[in-house]
C-alpha cells in the first residue's frame, strides 16, 4: 500500500474545498484521493511540468487567477484578484476544488481569510488561521487587507455552497 503525503500547508477548508502549497510528486497519490475537478492557482511562478502532466492525466482544470496577459503578466494580490478567486471558490460547479500558491501561505491565506470574513468569522479567528500557515512570516499588509476587505463586493451565486 502506498503512502499518502499531503502537500505543504495542506488543509481542509470546507467540504470539497482544500488549500496548500504547490504539490510535488510525493503528493500525487494523496491528491488523487480528493477527486479534484479544479485547481485555483494564485502564484506567478510556472508550475513544474510533472504537476501539469498530473493535472492533465486526471482531467483536473487549472484556473490561474492574477494573470493579465495584456499588461504586466502578474498582478499582486488585490481586491480584483481576491474577488476573482472568490468567484471560483463560491461556484460549486468547480468542486472538489484545491486553492494553492507557492507555499500555501500568503496569497492562499489572504484569499481564505477573505472567505472566512464572508462566512462571518470573527477577525481574531480569521487572523489566527492566517498565522497558522505563515509561521513566523506574518505580513501585516495581508492581515490589514483581510481586515479591510469589503465582503459586500463579493458576488454571491444563485446556488452558493451550503457552508456560506
Domains of the chain in start order, with CATH, are: 11-150 (3.90.190.10)
Active site residues: 101
DSSP string for residues in 8-60? TT-EEEETTEEEES---GGGHHHHHTTT-SEEEE--SSPPPHHHHHHHHHTTP
**In angstroms, how far is the first alpha carbon of the chain from the final one?**
37
User: Who's near 74: CB < 8 A, 6+ residues apart?
Assistant: 44, 66, 67, 68
pLDDT of residue 140: 87
Q: What is the pLDDT along the chain (164 residues), one digit of tens a residue?
A: 568 999 999 999 999 999 999 999 999 999 999 999 999 999 888 899 999 999 999 999 999 997 655 555 555 688 999 999 999 999 999 999 999 999 999 999 999 999 999 999 999 999 999 999 998 888 888 999 999 999 999 999 999 999 99
Angle, vertex CA 55, rays to CA 89 and CA 70, nearest 5: 65
Antiparallel, parallel or unpaired: β 97-100 and 17-20 = parallel
Instruction: Give the span between the Cα atoms of 84 and 103, in whole angstroms.
Output: 20
Q: CB-based burial of residue 83 (10 Å sphere; 0-12 exposed, 13-18 middle, 19+ buried)?
A: middle
Residue 41 β-bridge partners: 64, 100
Amino acid at each position: 500500500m502506498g503512502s499518502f503525503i499531503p502537500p505543504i500547508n495542506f488543509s481542509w477548508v470546507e467540504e470539497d474545498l482544500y488549500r496548500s502549497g504547490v504539490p510535488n510528486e510525493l503528493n500525487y497519490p494523496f491528491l488523487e484521493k480528493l477527486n479534484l475537478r479544479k485547481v485555483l492557482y494564485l502564484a506567478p511562478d510556472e508550475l513544474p511540468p510533472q504537476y501539469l502532466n498530473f493535472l492533465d492525466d486526471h482531467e483536473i482544470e487549472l484556473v490561474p487567477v492574477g494573470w493579465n496577459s495584456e499588461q504586466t503578466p502578474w498582478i499582486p494580490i488585490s481586491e480584483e484578484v481576491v474577488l476573482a478567486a472568490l468567484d471560483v471558490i463560491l461556484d460549486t460547479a468547480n468542486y472538489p476544488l484545491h486553492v494553492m500558491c507557492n507555499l500555501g501561505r500568503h496569497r492562499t491565506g489572504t484569499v481564505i481569510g477573505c472567505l472566512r470574513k464572508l462566512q462571518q468569522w470573527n477577525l481574531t479567528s480569521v487572523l489566527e488561521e492566517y498565522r497558522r500557515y505563515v509561521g513566523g512570516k506574518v505580513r501585516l499588509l495581508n492581515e490589514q487587507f483581510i481586515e479591510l476587505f469589503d465582503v459586500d463586493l463579493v458576488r454571491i451565486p444563485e446556488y452558493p455552497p451550503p457552508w456560506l
